[in-house]
């Protein structure tokens, strides 16, 4: 069963999402060539604490950092370390916060300096795939209408969707029911209802959809080591259609 949020919960989730969006925007402004992902993590922690929130990732199943910072061939769950961002890199920043018990989750892929045209296209397609998925998040649609719309859009654009990692329900904890794959047939799974809150997050690869986990037990990379992009929003299904909370 997918939880339905009360009006009061939705009000708090809106606040959580707004804070997260603000933190992400300020964080993006601080990213430049030669910064290390560890330094980005420290900046993120400071910005989150200034907003009276805490990272929802730090300590989650033992994850050691405040953010996930995934560079180039890294898909998700990159652990911040001494790796420095170089001209032409792409950086996926994924950040979840807990604000007074209300969780929101947001991811973006940024370009640093001049980036190859095909890589830029990968990022644009991933961002657009998120919008296409969000459009399907409305009352009386099936859950898999979101999944199908994302996969269809991505594959028609010449890229592939990651299978091992999926979006999720969110709200009173970071991961709630349901799982939201970025692939699948339409008109399957639960019927969507107003009051559901979902984190929709296409992960799109330039080459094969297959992924591997590095020895640190966390970082997912593309099997062919080609680039991958990731965008995520936390949204609520409302009587006015999908409402993006992390904007
Ligand atoms: Mg997420």
Q: How far is the CA of 9 from the centre of ligand 1 (A)?
A: 19
Distances (CA, A) of 213 to 156, 218, 220: 27, 6, 4
**pLDDT for position 231:** 99
Question: pLDDT tens for residues 206-246?
Answer: 999 999 999 999 999 999 999 999 999 999 999 999 999 99
Fold observed for domain 7-244: Creatine Amidinohydrolase (3.90.230)
**pLDDT for position 211:** 98
Contact at 8 Å (CB) between 194 and 239?
Answer: yes
Strand order in the sheet with 211-213: 74-76, 220-222, 211-213
Q: How far is the CA of 183 from the centre of ligand 1 (A)?
A: 16
Helical residues (DSSP H) of 157-196, grouped into ranges: none
Q: How far is the CA of 105 from the centre of ligand 1 (A)?
A: 5
H or E element at residue 10: helix 7-29
- Rg (C-alpha) for the chain, rounded Å, is 17
Q: How far is the CA of 201 from the centre of ligand 1 (A)?
A: 6
Residue 11 to residue 13: CA distance in whole angstroms: 5
Q: How far is the CA of 128 from the centre of ligand 1 (A)?
A: 17
Q: Tens-of-pLDDT digits for all 247 residues of the chain?
A: 899 999 999 999 999 999 999 999 999 999 999 999 999 999 999 999 999 999 999 999 999 999 999 999 999 999 999 999 999 999 999 999 999 999 999 999 999 999 999 999 999 999 999 999 999 999 999 999 999 999 999 999 999 999 999 999 999 999 999 999 999 999 999 999 999 999 999 999 999 999 999 999 999 999 999 999 999 999 999 999 999 999 9
Q: How far is the CA of 166 from the centre of ligand 1 (A)?
A: 8
Across the chain, the runs of DSSP E, i.e. the strands, are: 54-55, 68-71, 74-76, 90-99, 102-111, 160-161, 167-169, 176-180, 197-200, 203-205, 211-213, 220-222, 228-230, 233-238, 241-244
Q: How far is the CA of 158 from the centre of ligand 1 (A)?
A: 24
Q: How far is the CA of 90 from the centre of ligand 1 (A)?
A: 19
Q: How far is the CA of 94 from the centre of ligand 1 (A)?
A: 8
Residue 28 to residue 44: CA distance in whole angstroms: 10
DSSP characters over 51-117: TT-EESSTTGGG--SSSEEEETTEEE-PPP-SPBP-TT-EEEEEEEEEETTEEEEEEEEEE-SS--H
pTM over 0.95: yes
């Amino acid at each position: 069963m997918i939880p339905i949020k009360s009006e009061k919960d939705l009000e708090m989730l809106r606040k959580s999402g707004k804070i997260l969006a603000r933190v992400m925007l300020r964080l993006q402004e601080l990213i430049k060539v030669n910064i290390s992902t560890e330094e980005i993590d420290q900046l993120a922690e400071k910005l989150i604490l200034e907003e009276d929130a805490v990272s929802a990732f730090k300590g989650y199943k033992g994850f050691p950092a405040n953010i996930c910072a995934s560079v180039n061939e890294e898909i998700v769950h990159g652990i911040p370390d001494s790796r420095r961002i170089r001209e032409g890199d792409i950086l996926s920043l994924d950040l979840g916060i807990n604000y007074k018990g209300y969780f929101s989750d947001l991811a973006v892929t940024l370009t640093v300096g001049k980036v190859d045209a095909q890589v830029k296209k990968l990022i644009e397609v991933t961002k657009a795939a998120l919008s296409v998925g969000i459009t399907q998040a409305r009352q009386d649609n099936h859950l898999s209408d979101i999944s199908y719309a994302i996969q269809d859009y991505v594959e028609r654009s010449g890229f592939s969707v990651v299978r091992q990692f999926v979006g999720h329900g969110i709200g009173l904890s970071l991961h709630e029911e349901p799982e939201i794959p970025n692939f699948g047939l339409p008109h399957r799974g639960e019927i969507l209802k107003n009051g559901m809150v979902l984190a929709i997050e296409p992960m799109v690869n330039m080459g094969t959809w297959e992924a591997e986990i590095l020895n640190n037990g966390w970082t997912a990379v593309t099997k062919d080591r080609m680039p991958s992009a990731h965008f995520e929003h936390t949204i609520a299904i409302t009587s006015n259609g999908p409402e993006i909370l992390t904007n």
